[in-house]
Amino acid sequence: MSADRIDVQVEHRHTPPPADKKHPNTCPKCGSHYRDDELAATLWVCGHCGHHFPMRARDRIAWYADPGSFQEEAADVRSEDPLDFFDLRPYSERLAEAELNTGQGEAIVTGQATLDGRPVELAVMDFAFMGGSMGSAVGEKFSRACDAAAARGTPLIAVPSSGGARMQEGILSLMQLPKTVCAVEDLHDARVPMVTVMSHPTTAGVLASFASLGDVTIAEPGALIAFTGPRVVQQTTREKLPDDFGLAEQNLRFGHLDAIVPRPEQREYLARVLRLFP
Amino acid sequence: MSERDQEVNLRQRLSGLSRLPLLRGARVDGEAKRLEEQLERLTADSSDEAIWHSVELARHPDRPYTLDYVARMVDDWVELHGDRGRADDGALVTGLGKLDGRTIALVGHQKGRDVKERLDRQFGMAYPEGYHKAMRIMEIAERFGFPLVSLVDTPGAYPGVAAEQHGQGGAIARSQAEMARLTVPTVACIIGEGGSGGAVAIAVSDRVLMQENAIYSVITPEGCAAILWRDAGEAKKAAAAFKPDALHCLDLGVVDGIVGEPPEGAQTDVDEAARLLKSALVEALDELDETPGEDLRRRRRAKFRGMGVFA
């Protein structure tokens, strides 16, 4: 039974698109279709049904941060290929391709900014870069963000969006779990608050490490928040899954979240929470 | 050359190999032959076949489990049950006992031996309740200054509906966080399968050891193959690619030492495997004994924060 168990899902590049695959600007819930500029204007939230489309890390930072206040940090940290990992293609090739396609060096963007005038440290993941998977570079950038937040005494706002650990880095990707956990513990010891905004999807290794350790944890509506995703749970256990299995709404009901906050209200929510902390 | 010189020489050669710390459990009397055999096994290129052999031995149905070792290593064992909230998870056993004269707190995964026990213990895959139970024992260890010993042997945390509803991800995260806060000496050993988050949840330790034929990995070979090769049958290829064997884990700095096993694997001579494991654990605890708790915690965090390869 354990033989075909999977608890990390990283990328779906080689999965053929389902026959009914819709255009990325078509709402999967209600079928409404939008131009790029329309989606940008609504923060990538469907104006008809409220579905939250994926939001790129830089778009989110541009929205959370006061105009012109964001200064990126650790932008030059890149993944290496310690195992010379080769599945159907070399890992190094996948990395280069991801950087080319996303215009980003890694699956997380970190830096300092002000939010409603309050200095903050931001650590925002980007699912577009290899499924937001966490390898050594993501772990390092997140840990440095914790250190920067602790050193300056500015709250950390973390936005996970990840399929889990990056299996092309083998056991080292698993070690990013304790690594980021230790970084958060150092932040906690410095008495600097951490607020986590779980976006779709927050799963596997990222959920089982830093994403679960915020002082205040909120999620976006409809986000998948699960250690093991529905497909693998179904395949492994043959259990019948509840309709809202693993979604933010179920997680709120079971006590794993402080609130579900729709994207347009998040900036005000974060500002309000941060005013309460020293 | 006297036997003793020969052994010192062997041990030096062994420790020179892939920066191997002196082999745990190696004692002076008449072990030169065993060391020599071990040296041979270690110097042989860890080929794809050798890696797969480790995978098979790590999952061998007769491989000793946590309670087999407890019975042979620990005196005055008192198993402690339940997470005080919801359940007693049989996949993760916890308790107190004496190891070489000192009281230790122990947490370890437990697979089942027969069909019924396997089902009862969910094949060693813990629910969040198991990690809550482990955290309870960690608290006791911290309060009374008992060293914490973890024995890791799980395919992974249980992937079920109830496990998710009870907060599997958060439980694994908080168990690691609890270990990062401890000021008592902590030693973990991977004794079989070190499967992903469910394994590392109890392995954020000052010293992480690994038995010679254990595996430690971010995903099962079958899982990796199913995702990257889209065919679970390519597990052998996947294992060769992500290298879950002890030597590679040591090379990457993920484990601090390798614990020897009887020549054909721990299942061939459980008493001997337990003796080697016990002396490795005792040796590690002896090394940590003198260090003040604050330093232990600081160094432990620094160790894990240093893991990874990036540019």
Task: Search chain A and give the residue with CA nearest B166.
Answer: A254
Tell whether A209 is within 8 A of chain B (Cβ).
yes
List the single residue in A170, A181, A225 with the smallest CB-CB distance to B242. A170
Number of helices (H), then strands (E), in chain A: 10, 9
What was the pLDDT predicted at B230?
Answer: 83
Q: Which of A81, A175, A258 to mutate to test the interface with B (most CBs of B within 10 A)?
A: A175
Residue B193 in domain: yes
Same domain, B165 and B66: yes
Tell whether A104 is within 8 A of chain B (Cβ).
no
Q: Which residues have C-beta within 8 Å of that of residue A37, sequence separation ≥ 6? A: none
Q: Which residues of A touch B155 (CB under 8 A)?
A: 2, 5
Same domain, B67 and B2: no
Q: What residue ranges of chain B have pLDDT lower than 70?
A: 1-46
Same domain, B61 and B121: yes
Residue B310 in domain: no
State the nearest Cα–Cα gap between B197 and chain A, in angstroms. 7
Same domain, B137 and B37: no
Same domain, B235 and B99: yes
Nearest partner of B197 among A160, A143, A174, judged by Cα: A174
Residue B26 in domain: yes
Residues A236-248 have pLDDT tens digits of: 888 889 999 999 9
CB contact under 8 A, B169 and A182: no
Torsion of CA B197, B201, B204, B205, to 10 degrees: -130
Q: Which residues have C-beta within 8 Å of that of residue B67, sequence separation ≥ 6? A: B93, B108, B110
CATH architecture classification, A55-276: Alpha-Beta Complex (3.90)
Residues A72-120 have pLDDT tens digits of: 999 999 999 999 998 888 999 999 999 999 999 999 999 999 999 999 9
Please give the C-alpha separations between residue A121 and each of A68, A195, A196, A198, A274, in angstroms, as whole numbers: 14, 10, 12, 16, 12
Same domain, B66 and B129: yes
Task: Search chain B and give the residue with CA nearest A226.
Answer: B164
Tell me the C-alpha distance between B309 and B60, whole Å.
32
State the nearest Cα–Cα gap between B283 and chain A, in angstroms. 24
What was the pLDDT predicted at B46?
Answer: 61
CB contact under 8 A, B169 and A207: yes
* Domain containing residue B221: CATH number: 3.90.226.10
Tell whether A140 is within 8 A of chain B (Cβ).
yes
Residue B287 in domain: yes
Determine the length of chain A.
278
> Which residues are registered as beta bridge partners of B194?
B154, B216
> Which residues are registered as beta bridge partners of B310?
A79
What was the pLDDT predicted at B18?
Answer: 38
State the nearest Cα–Cα gap between B94 and chain A, in angstroms. 21
Q: Does the N-terminal peptide bond of residue B185 adopt cis geometry, omega within 30 degrees of 0?
A: no
Same domain, B147 and B244: yes
What ipTM, to 2 d.p.?
0.92
> Which residues are registered as beta bridge partners of B257?
B209
What was the pLDDT predicted at B26?
Answer: 42
Determine the length of chain B.
311
Tell me the C-alpha distance between B239 and A99, whole Å.
27
Same domain, B95 and B25: no
Tell me the C-alpha distance between A238 and B51, whole Å.
31
Is the pLDDT at A9 greater than 70, yes or no? no
What was the pLDDT predicted at B269?
Answer: 97
CB contact under 8 A, B223 and A256: no
pTM tops 0.95, yes or no: no
Handedness of CA B27, B29, B34, B35 (dihedral sign): positive
Same domain, B27 and B79: no
Domain range for B14 is 1-44
Residue B103 in domain: yes
Same domain, B260 and B176: yes
State the nearest Cα–Cα gap between A59 and chain B, in angstroms. 26
Residues B108-138 have pLDDT tens digits of: 999 999 999 999 999 999 999 999 999 999 9
Tell whether A143 is within 8 A of chain B (Cβ).
yes
Interface contacts (A, B; CB < 8 Å): 240
* Mean pLDDT to the nearest integer, A210-232: 96
Within chain B, residue ranges assigned H as helices are 3-16, 32-43, 48-58, 66-73, 115-120, 128-144, 161-165, 168-181, 196-200, 221-224, 235-242, 246-251, 270-288, 293-305
Compute and round to an integer the Cα radius of gyration of chain B. 19
List the single residue in B201, B230, B309 with the smallest CB-CB distance to A82. B309
Domain boundary among B28, B44, B60: B44
B137 token code pair: 């024992």
Same domain, B146 and B292: yes
State the nearest Cα–Cα gap between B248 and chain A, in angstroms. 9
How many distinct structural domains can be found in chain B? Answer: 2
Same domain, B299 and B168: yes
List the single residue in B159, B230, B310 with the smallest CB-CB distance to A228. B159
* Mean pLDDT to the nearest integer, A44-55: 96
Residue B125 in domain: yes
Residue B51 in domain: yes
pLDDT over 70, % of chain A: 93
Q: Domain residues of chain A, as ranges?
A: 55-276
User: Cβ distance A177 to A207 under 8 Å?
Assistant: no
Tell whether A205 is within 8 A of chain B (Cβ).
yes
CA A34 distance to own-chain centroid: 24
